[in-house]
Structure 1
Amino acid sequence: MGLSLATAEKWVERWELQQQRYAVDREDRFTVIADVIEHITVGRTGRPTVVDLGCGPGSLAARLARRLPHADIVAVDRDPLLLELARVHHADAARYVDTVIGEHGWTRALALDHPLDAAVSTTALHYLDPGTLRRVYRELAALLRPGGVLVNGDHLPPDDAVLAEVAGCVGRRRAQRQRALVHEDWASWWTAAAGEPELAELLAERGRRQSSTGTDSAARLSLSDHVRLLRQSGFAQAGAVWQYGDSCVVVAVR
């Protein structure tokens, strides 16, 4: 049974609300990412190509498509359920690719025939262990044109444990003031999704993939760890251009 547009819309809308619990000023962070992409592509001839890494149900891809309708967006994820929600609800926003970021040959699955202008990601790359992340950064640097960028919006704490605790507190207080914590959480969303008949096959496939690949257990790297790995991987410049608490937008220039 295929996934209907009405069902996809319902679950994407619930996803958008629950994600507000976790990303401080989430909409502003999306806007900053789009600002960067617009800045580096302005004045260039042809259609810019952007890869969205760990696209989930298409939250960032859809916003970029609305902001930059002239761009070609390739959206990548390994979760079959979230990817299908994106394909159905945001069908025209991107070309969707089912692959595991960091696995051998994953960049070939993107089917690119020219260099990228940008790679973007939100709250996805922190799941990768340091060795895999370094390899992914190197592969992305090789895919990007000179002057192209990697833009990553994620939770990247300071190195110092005390400052990391303070940054986390700042973010939580902000979320409380914005009443973001009234929404259902991650676990509740997945529990509710399990009761949706149209999602049953996708959830079963998701379970099979998780059992074969194991669970994510990478330690959270700091902001400076990411900057260091980016510079070691072929990016000329790297640093945060936006930050609230430990929520950051990091830009790395090829």
Structure 2
Amino acid sequence: MGVSMATAEMWVERWERQQQRYAVDREERFTVIADVVEHVTAGRTRPLLVDLGCGPGSLAARLATRLPHADIVAVDMDPLLLELGRTHHTRVARFVDAEIGADGWIAALDLDRPLDAAVSTTALHYLPEPVLRRAYEELAALLRPGGVLVNADHLPQDGAPTAEIAAHVGRRRAARSRTHQHEDWASWWAAAARDPELADLFAGRLRRLPAHGGDNQLTVSRHVALLRQAGFAHVSPVWQFGDSHVLVATR
């Protein structure tokens, strides 16, 4: 089931390029997340972070560079992306195979102390609202007082006119940055499916694809409401471009 370092490096690099099509100002968004976590963990000798829906470790790798003394647990349910992350980012994080919000997923993290931060980028929109609500509640219980949950994602505005304007602003920014010249999500996965070295992992992925899929389409205000109901005292976006947000909830 393992892959070579060269194969992992090639596919992770291609992943990084294709993801630029979908996250407006992706590197800036990563930087903002790291800024938030750096601020919240200032003075702590060994902060504990969880990366939710980590994929091949893009966010975890950037956090490890900014916070080299942090312990990072990176969780995802996709066996192919996890293996790419484990191989390419060996020293970055402890990668965990678990489905966010499913029974037993918290135990699978095997945490030895309260979290300082839970972070996610372009991942939680896949969760149906009841699953997301439960995950927010579970994460609130895991975070230390003053800890944060940071969710960076495309979150629509309330009201169709405003939502469409925000989405248009994001699309125009993407057009100016020419990120749409990169291969897209479907092309990346189609190419990965043809790589013999990934065949077993790809088959495992197909067996484990969640039944729901898609996008929960929850607005910014709905995320804020769910987070407050889960026990977070303060919730607010700290960065936005178009409908791309970095939403921070403080325990």
* Other-structure match for 1:109: 108
* In the alignment, structure 1 residue 240 sits paired with structure 2 residue 233: no
Write the deviation string for residues 98-152 of structure 1: whole angstroms up to 9, x where unpaired: 0000001110000012100000000011111111111100000000000000011
Q: Map 1:148-187; keep pairs closer than 5 Å.
A: 148-187=147-186
* Other-structure match for 2:126: 127
Instruction: Report the Cα distance in structure 1 between the residues aligned to 2:59 and 2:25, rounded to whole angstroms.
Output: 14
Structure 1, unpaired ranges of 5+: none
CA RMSD of aligned residues (A): 0.9
How many percent identity over aligned positions? 70
Instruction: Report the Cα distance in structure 2 between the residues aligned to 1:102 and 1:216, rounded to whole angstroms.
Output: 14
Instruction: Report the Cα distance in structure 2 between the residues aligned to 1:175 and 1:19, rounded to whole angstroms.
Output: 12
User: Normalising to structure 2: TM-score of the pair?
Assistant: 0.98
Q: Map 1:1-254; keep pairs closer than 5 Å.
A: 2-44=2-44, 46-210=45-209, 213-254=210-251
**SS state at 2:105 partner:** coil
Instruction: Report the Cα distance in structure 1 between the residues aligned to 2:165 and 2:176, rounded to whole angstroms.
Output: 17
Instruction: Report the Cα distance in structure 2 between the residues aligned to 1:209 and 1:188, rounded to whole angstroms.
Output: 20
- List, as ranges, runs of 4+ consecutive aligned residues in structure 1 with deviation greater than 6 Å: none
Question: How far is 1:218 from its partner?
Answer: 4.6
Question: How far is 1:237 from its partner?
Answer: 0.2
Q: Is the 8 A contact 2:117 2:147 kept in 1?
A: yes
Write the deviation string for residues 62-119 of structure 1: whole angstroms up to 9, x where unpaired: 0000110010000000000000000000010000000000001110000012100000
Write the deviation string for residues 189-216 of structure 1: whole angstroms up to 9, x where unpaired: 0001111111000000011112xx4241
Instruction: Report the Cα distance in structure 1 between the residues aligned to 2:154 and 2:146, rounded to whole angstroms.
Output: 25
Question: How far is 1:43 from its partner?
Answer: 1.6
In structure 1, what residue type is equivalent to 2:122? Answer: T
Instruction: Report the Cα distance in structure 1 between the residues aligned to 2:216 and 2:89, rounded to whole angstroms.
Output: 32
Question: How far is 1:2 from its partner?
Answer: 2.9
Q: Is the 8 A contact 2:128 2:212 kept in 1?
A: no
